[in-house]
Amino acid sequence: MSGGITRRQALTIGALGVGALGIGATGLVWTTVGSQTSGSGTATATSGAAGWVEPSVLESVDGVLDVTLQAAEREVEVGGASVRMLTYNGTVPGPTLHLRPGDLLRVRLQNDLTDPTNLHTHGLLVSASDNSDNPFLRIGAGESFDYEIQLPDDHPAGVFWYHPHHHELVADQVFAGLYGAIIVDEEDWSQAPPRVVVVSDVTITDGAVASVSGVERMLGRTGEVLLVNGQPSPTLPAPAESEQRLLIVNACTSRYLDLRLGDLDARVRGIDSHRRTPQSADRLVLAPGNRADVVITTPTAATDLVAAAYDRGQAGMGMMGGGSTTSPEAVVLTVVPDAGATPPVVADPVVSTRRDLRETAVDGTRTLTMSMGMGGGAGMRFLIDGRAFDAGRTDQSVTIGTVEDWTIVNVSPMDHPFHLHVWPVQVLRAGSADVTGVDVRDVVDVPAGTSVTVRIAFDRFPGQTVYHCHILDHEDLGMMGVVDAA
Ligand SMILES: [Cu+2]
C-alpha cells in the first residue's frame, strides 16, 4: 500500500531530522513494504516509516520457552532514520514472548551493555526469588545469567512485559529501548494473531538516544517521539468494519497514555492480568507499566488513535526549573481501511475467573505515603514513608496466606503510578470514591494529593521483592521499598 505523509507524521519525522530521511519536500509519497505481519517468526522490519511492524514472536514448545536475550547497543531504523539504541536481540522492542499458563520460561540474559542490568517480567505471577523474577540481581557488563521463571498452572491470561530493573539505571535503559511484550494465553496464533502494540517514547539527538537533565529526571522524562513497536505513529491497515484486537503495553518511562477511543468502537477486554467481559470505552488511561487488551472496529476512513495531552503534575513544578509534566497530544497509530489486508479473528471473550476480594476477610491494613522533598545539594528526593530505597532494609513484612488492605497516600504535587511486583492488587477506593466492579491491576495510579486503597492476597511466592513508583525516574531516585513475604 502507499499513502501520503500526513501533517502529523511529517511533524514527527521532522523531530527525528528530515535530512537523515532524505525527504526534503512535503507531499512526498512513499511505498511501505512488509506492512502485513503475521505473528510467529516475523522479524521487526525496517520498512517505510509509516508501515506496520511487530516484534518477532517466540512461542513456548511443550511447556518451555528457552530464549537468549542479548542486551546490546545497536543501530536500528526509527522512522527511516538510523538510531543507536539499546536493544534485546538487535531490535526495539525485543521479541514478544508468547507463553501459556504452566510454562517454564528460561532466559539467558547476555549483558553486552557497558552498565549492569537485570530482567523483570512485569506483571507475571511468579516467584521473585533466586533466579526467577528477582529485582535484586545484578548482571554485570559482559556477564550472562540464566533465569528460570515458572508460571503456575492457574496463571491468568493477559498482557505483560519485560524490562531491566537494576536500581538507578532503569529509566535510562528502558528509555533507550530495552523492553518487550510477554503474552500469556491459551490461544493459537498461527491463523489469526492479535496485534501487539508496544508503545514507548524516546528523544533522539544526533542519531542516538538523548541524555536527560536532572530536572527531567525529577519531573519524569517525556520522550519527544511516541513509538509503536519502535516506529513513530505507524499505520495499521485492516478491512473496513473488521475487528482488530490490540494488546497494548505502555512501556513509556513516564508518559501516561490517555487513549481516545471514541471513533474506533472500542471494547476493553482486559487490563494488566485481569480479563473481563468486554466493556465499551471512549477513553482509556494507561499509566506507565499498564497494559490493555482492546478490540476496535476499523472505520471506513483513516482514523487516528490519539493519546491526548496529559498533565501528571500540579502547580509548584516551576521551582524545579520550569520543566513540564504535561505530555503533548500524539498520534499513537492510524487505522487505515484496506480491503486487501487479512482480517484477524478476534478470540472469544474470556470472562474473568479472578477471585473478587471485596467480600474476603482482611488480616491487616497498612498505609504507605509517597512524598517528595528537597534533599539539600542532592536535588529532589522521592520517598516512600519518608525513606529512599535501600535494598538492605525490609520496609513491609507480610505473611503468606493473608489478605491485606494497603492505602497508598500521595502527598506530593505529582501523580505517581504505584506498582507492586508479583501480587496483583484489587482497587477498592480511589480518591473519595469506592470502585464498582472488579478492578484488578498491577500498576495503579495515585494522583497528586489523593489516596488509593487496594486489597492484596499474598497467597503464594514467599520471598523478597519491591513496590515502587512506575515513573521510572522516580524509582531510580528512591521511590521504592522492599516487601518480604514469609
Ligand atoms: Cu512517581
Quick one: 2-337 is in which CATH superfamily?
Answer: Cupredoxins -  blue copper proteins (2.60.40.420)
Distance 83 CA to ligand 1 centre (A): 29
State percent of the chain over pLDDT 90. Answer: 77
Distance 313 CA to ligand 1 centre (A): 10
pLDDT at position 293, please? 95
Distance 418 CA to ligand 1 centre (A): 8
State percent of the chain over pLDDT 70. Answer: 85
What is the location of CATH 2.60.40.420 in the chain?
2-337, 357-485
Region for 90 from its dihedrals, namely left if φ exceeds 0, alpha if ψ lies in -120 to 50, beta otherwise: left
Q: In this model, does residue 305 exceed pLDDT 70?
A: yes
Cα distances (Å, whole numbers) of residue 73 to 6, 89, 176, 178: 31, 10, 9, 10
Report the topology of domain 357-485.
Immunoglobulin-like (2.60.40)
Q: Region 97-102: what's the mean pLDDT?
A: 96
Contact 241, 346 (CB under 8 A): no
Q: What is the pTM of this model?
A: 0.89
Beta bridge partners of 456: 404
Q: In this model, does residue 319 exceed pLDDT 80?
A: no
- Reported as type and span, the H/E element at residue 12 is helix 7-16
Q: In this model, does residue 34 exceed pLDDT 90?
A: no
Distance 447 CA to ligand 1 centre (A): 10
258-290: pLDDT as tens digits: 999 999 999 999 999 998 888 999 999 999 999
Dig out the grid coordinates for 412 from the structure.
506530593
Give the Cα separation of 410 and 327 in Å (integer).
21
Q: In this model, does residue 379 exceed pLDDT 80?
A: no
Contact 203, 254 (CB under 8 A): no
pLDDT at position 373, please? 83
Distance 253 CA to ligand 1 centre (A): 11
pLDDT at position 313, please? 87
Dig out the grid coordinates for 239 from the structure.
478491512
Give the Cα separation of 125 and 133 in Å (integer).
9
DSSP secondary structure, 388-434, as one string: ---TTS--EEE-TTEEEEEEEEE-SSB-EEEEESSS-EEEEEETTEE
**Which residues hold their Cβ within 5 A of ligand 1, which is an ion?**
416, 469, 471, 474
Comparing 5-9, 196-200, 419-423, the range with the smallest average pLDDT is 5-9
DSSP secondary structure, 264-325, as one string: GT-EEEEETTEEEEEEE-SEEEE-TT-EEEEEEE--SS-EEEEEE-EE-B-TTGGGGTS---
Sign of the alpha-carbon dihedral angle for 163, 95, 223, 143 = positive
Distance 7 CA to ligand 1 centre (A): 33
189-217: pLDDT as tens digits: 887 789 999 999 999 999 999 999 999 99
- Please write down the HEC assignment for all residues of 13-40: HHHHCHHHHCCCCCCCEEECCCCCCCCC
Cα distances (Å, whole numbers) of residue 411 to 54, 329, 425, 427: 40, 27, 21, 19
Distance 248 CA to ligand 1 centre (A): 22
38-70: pLDDT as tens digits: 333 333 333 333 589 999 999 999 999 999 999
pLDDT at position 46, please? 36
435-457: pLDDT as tens digits: 988 999 999 999 999 999 999 99
